[in-house]
Amino acid sequence: MRILMIRHGDPDYERDTLTEKGHREAALLAELAPGLGLGDCYQSPLGRAQATAAYCLEKLGKEAVTLEWLREFPAKVDINGSEILQGAYTDTKREGEHFGTRIAWDMVPSYWAEQAVYADREGWRHSEAARCSDLVSVYDSVATGLDKLLEQYGYVKEGHHYRVVKENTGTVTFFCHFGITCVLLSHLWDVSPFLLWHTLALAPTSVTEVVTEERQQGIAIFRALRLGDISHLYAGGEEPSFSARFCETYGNRGQRH
């Protein structure tokens, strides 16, 4: 079985759609769509993902099923009751006397990199960030959605691998987002999502491909063939978007800090 995870194009987050650049990126991706073998298509309910998918779907005359759990990972952390987390989310805005909520994974590296719990396969569930957020429940909801879908294709989660009920060489494609892609990969690979959130940067319209490997009959794992492929942008002469990245050097004030 093969899974493609395609991130939306350069985003206009305020209006939940694509920028002009994002539309160019999505159009370039669609030019290669006939060769991608998209198979069954699923999409996030958010506008920027659906606008990206529309280019490929129109090109191929296909439709996509919208899945609620494919939306950008919505878990939020409340740092008001934790001095530790107030140091981990250093630029959180105040709303009156209190801090606003924050995307759970968006913490500074001086904190997460020095706390082994965030790299642990199970330990992150008992971290300070998990204690002060809905991180675990939202993660488990996504994981359940993914596993129920994979069961329809013949793969049932058992422990840390998948039991093959029926061999399947088909493809499913998810048009979604960076944060949720990291969650999906972390569940497939049984690793902490924090490792992927903080070590991957999947550019807009990038293609990530994983396939099953069944070295023992009836037991499958998922392995990556490509992560964040943006060859379609290079082929079309389109500079990759900086979205999902932070500044390469701190002194470069033109890049996101």
What is the total residue count of the chain? 257
Confidence of residue 130 (pLDDT cuts 50, 70, 90): very high
Q: What percent of the chain has pLDDT over 90?
A: 94
- Distance between CA atoms of 5 and 185, rounded to whole angstroms? 10
Task: Please state the rounded mean pLDDT for residues 156-180.
Answer: 97
pLDDT in tens, 11-50: 999 999 999 999 999 999 999 999 999 999 999 999 999 9
Q: Which residues contact 53 (CB under 8 A, 6 or more apart)?
A: 6, 41, 43, 64, 175
Helices of type H across the chain: 20-36, 47-60, 83-88, 109-112, 128-131, 135-152, 178-189, 193-199, 231-235
Short-list 184, 151, 177, CA closest to 8: 177
